[in-house]
Amino acid sequence: MTQFRPSRFEILPPVIKNLLIINGLVFFAQITIKNTAFGSLEDIFALHTFQSELFKPWQFITHMFMHGDFGHLFFNMFALWMFGSILENVWGQKRFLIFYFVCGLGAALAHMIALYFDKQTIIQQFNAIQTQMDIEYFLRKYWYGEPLPPVLDAAKAVVRAQLNEATLGASGAVFGCLAAFGYLFPNTYLYLYFFVPVKAKWFVIGYIAIELYSTLKNSAGDNVAHLAHLGGALFGFLLVWSWNKTNRRKFY
């Protein structure tokens, strides 16, 4: 069997429907509630690096329901419906929900590891600057009575801003769904731009290759969490592979 032809298929299965609703409601809250008594919604619920003062454990889950803009939300939810609805129809609600959150958490973990090393370099550079300037600052303030130059304070502000950068979106979990779809239904045709047919396996491989290239290239100004995408795809592939390694009938 080379293509997916289900006998019973729900266009909008329950888990997918509820995920779409929750993501939509959270985005509505993001654009209507700018700040709370505890800070902005992104400060509280988006994912932050371990080194950030804004990091909270619940952000591993909550960041998956937040998005940067309407385009970000739309394309993630469209892909979730497109691939996730088929997976939920095949697996059922419970297994798909487990799969979705495992992929999202795996993507977050991969991204957090990358962030830790990236931000650690920034912290080390700042500490080196601070060490060099400590003696000069001490002499200026306590010996000569001169005001401290604002250089170090400005550097602290820059470091703090970089440590407090937020990561948000369901992309990691969606990439897990994409990887699982390509694994289970490799010869099912997808239509790029609704016109160009391509088999799912080649679409997934090509998309993953683009994400890997973007990760290695690490272009300045690129604010897309490519490594999170790869982490979600990897966790999705490993999970669906472990579920199906003794049950070849799940291949289509």
- Look up tokens 């003696």; give the residue: 135
Give the CA distances from residue 163 to residues 20, 45, 52, 160, in Å, rounded to whole numbers and listed in that order.
30, 15, 5, 5
CA 117 from chain centre, in angstroms, equals 17
H or E element in which residue 198 lies: strand 196-199
The CATH number of the domain where 231 resides is what? 1.20.1540.10
Q: In angstroms, rounded to a whole number, what is the distance separating the alpha carbons of residues 188 and 90?
A: 15
In a domain? residue 138: yes
In a domain? residue 9: no
In a domain? residue 119: yes
In a domain? residue 2: no
In a domain? residue 134: yes
Q: In angstroms, rounded to a whole number, what is the distance separating the alpha carbons of residues 10 and 12?
A: 5
Q: In angstroms, rounded to a whole number, what is the distance separating the alpha carbons of residues 40 and 244?
A: 43
In a domain? residue 8: no
Give the residue numbers spanning the domain of 145: 14-250
In a domain? residue 5: no
Q: CB under 8 Å to 216, separation ≥6 — which residues? A: none
In a domain? residue 110: yes
Look at the chain and report how many structural domains it folds into. 1
Q: pLDDT by residue for the chain (252 residues), tens digit each?
A: 345 455 456 889 999 999 999 999 999 999 998 777 777 899 899 999 888 889 999 999 999 999 999 999 999 999 999 999 999 999 999 999 999 999 999 999 999 998 888 887 777 766 666 665 555 555 555 555 555 556 556 666 777 777 888 899 999 999 999 999 999 999 998 887 667 888 999 999 999 999 888 888 766 566 788 889 999 999 999 999 999 876 655 444
